[in-house]
Structure 1
Amino acid sequence: MQDLVTIVPWTFIAQICNLFIQLYLIKRFLLKPINAVLEKRKEMATAEIKEAEKAKEEARAIKEEYEQNMAEAKEKANTLIANAQKSASLQSEEMIQEANKQAAAIKAKAESDIAQEKKKAVNELKGEIGGMAMEIAGKVIEREISEKDHEKLIDEFISNVGEAS
């Protein structure tokens, strides 16, 4: 039983050398390719992260450009609305002024027509009064009038003037 527990130095050295050879072979043929694959994966992941960050920056730039375009569009729309309101206001003022001018012209024409008609009526009335005065003068000349006849003629004249007007 003692042979089982004893250490043989040459076997021990051979086993240690065998262990180092196995470690070297595992490191050379197994760990290096695995590390190379892991390094490639790490590089791919890093590249994908960089691409994602780049895409994120591009999206942020596009968003800023979109927001700027929207702000410009709002400003243009507000400008157009303000211009349209100013134009409508000016147009309405012009229309009101034109209407006022037309109303003033119509009023002036009506006033001149009224004055003309008034002069015409006065002239006609003068002509009628003149005719009546001639009639009265003719009647007075034909006969001599008394005070009663004179009052009667005046009343007649006044009633004729009232009917003529």
Structure 2
Amino acid sequence: MVRNTAQNKGETNMDMQALLQLAADTKETQELVTLVPWTFIIQIINLFIQVFLIKKFLFKPINDILEKRRNLADKSIREAREAQDKADSLKEQYESSLTKAHAEAAEIVSEAQKEAQVKADTIVQEAEQQAAGIKARAAADIEQEKKKAINEAKDEIGGLAMDIAGKVVEKEINEADHRKLIDDFINKVGA
């Protein structure tokens, strides 16, 4: 039994040592978990300093870069919209000008056709008037020539009649002479 007691003592010793070891570990653990006010305050100050430094040297430049990119994108979008509006405006002006030009061209063509028709009508009227004038002059000339020819014929006939009458008076005409005189007269008048 002595042996048992020694053995028990040895075990108890071991158990004690294990308990002491456990107690020591627990104390260290408590020290790690325990809040020390000065350490806590320094850690808070350290956290604020880190946040400040990160914000100043990391977030601010990143935010500045993001802001510049946002402004650049907004500017590009605004310029694109302005360019689109300007292009739409120019397109409307072009279409309006094109429509106006088509209308003016149609009006010019219509006026040119009207003027051409008026000129053609005027030319036809002038030609008809000239033709009528030429016909009237020709008719007057023909009538004048006819009267002239008739007057000349009358003068000639009168002269021939006087000649015949003078010859008849000079001599007595027999039937053969009379026929001869008439034939001569007809030949002279016919020539």
Match of 1:134 in 2: 162
RMSD: 3.0
Match of 1:33 in 2: 60
User: Counterparts of 1:36-115 in structure 2 under 5 Å?
Assistant: 36-37=63-64, 38-115=66-143
Aligned mates of 2:67, 2:166 — CA distance in 1: 146
1:62 CA drift (Å): 1.6
Equivalent residue of 2:173, what SS?
A: coil
Instruction: Show CA shifts across 1:81-115 (max 9, x none).
Output: 32123213312321221122122112201211110
Equivalent residue of 2:144, what SS?
A: helix
Aligned mates of 2:133, 2:111 — CA distance in 1: 33
Aligned mates of 1:44, 1:162 — CA distance in 2: 118
- Which consecutive unaligned segments of at least 5 residues does structure 1 have? 1-5
Higher relative contact order (CA 8 A, sep 6+): 1
Deviates more, 1:114-123 or 1:130-139: 130-139
Instruction: Show CA shifts across 1:47-81 (max 9, x none).
Output: 32122112211221122112211221232133123
Identity fraction in percent: 44
Q: What is the aligned counterpart of 1:148 among 167, 176, 182?
A: 176
Matched, 1:161 2:185: no
- Which consecutive unaligned segments of at least 5 residues does structure 2 have? 1-24
Aligned mates of 2:75, 2:181 — CA distance in 1: 131
Aligned mates of 2:175, 2:100 — CA distance in 1: 102
Question: Between Structure 1 and Structure 2, whose CA radius of gyration is higher?
Answer: 2
Q: What is the aligned counterpart of 2:148 among 120, 133, 138?
A: 120
TM-score, scaled to structure 1: 0.75
Deviates more, 1:122-131 or 1:142-151: 142-151
